[in-house]
Amino acid sequence: MKPRKQRMLAVGLAVVGLAIAVGLTLRAFEENMMFYVEIGDVISGNAPVDRTFRVGGLVVEGSVKREPGDLQVEFTLTDNANELVVVHNGILPDLFREGQGIIATGRLNADGEFDAESVLAKHDENYMPPEVADSLAGHAAAQEAVIKSEAAKP
């Protein structure tokens, strides 16, 4: 084989190898990418159907239901405007409690409930996950605007 053909073959193999590496990297990113979806978007049907996503909010007071001796727990999450039922089959974090800010990772089931694979609780009383804080702040601002507009009416 002539040196020119060897160089062309080497360049061609390098390009093919690089293309394969880029393809595998992009596929790994796609499989591991996780979206955060607000509770209002989940309720309105704007949640991913065929992939895992995260949802966060506050656990509604009095909504935690668990059968004695069973790991399955059901509770309701709220963003102060909407509510979503979450079902988790496993051990909850020690910091999990009603009124607590959490983020759950999972999928929607056929009943419209969120099947959580994992539940993360905030680690101290001052911390709130940024996505949850933004969602709660947005809904609080909207509620304030409604109250002000109603108060301004004669």
Spell out the domain ranges in the chain: 1-33, 35-152
Give all strands (DSSP E) within 48-144, no chain letters: 53-59, 65-66, 72-78, 83-89, 101-108, 114-121
- pLDDT at 10 > cutoff 70: yes
Four-way CATH pick for 35-152: 3.40.640.10, 2.120.10.80, 2.60.40.3080, 2.40.50.140: 2.40.50.140
Write out pLDDT tens, residues 74-99: 999 998 888 999 999 988 888 888 88
pLDDT band at 37 (very low <50, low <70, confident <90, very high): confident
Its pTM stands at 0.64
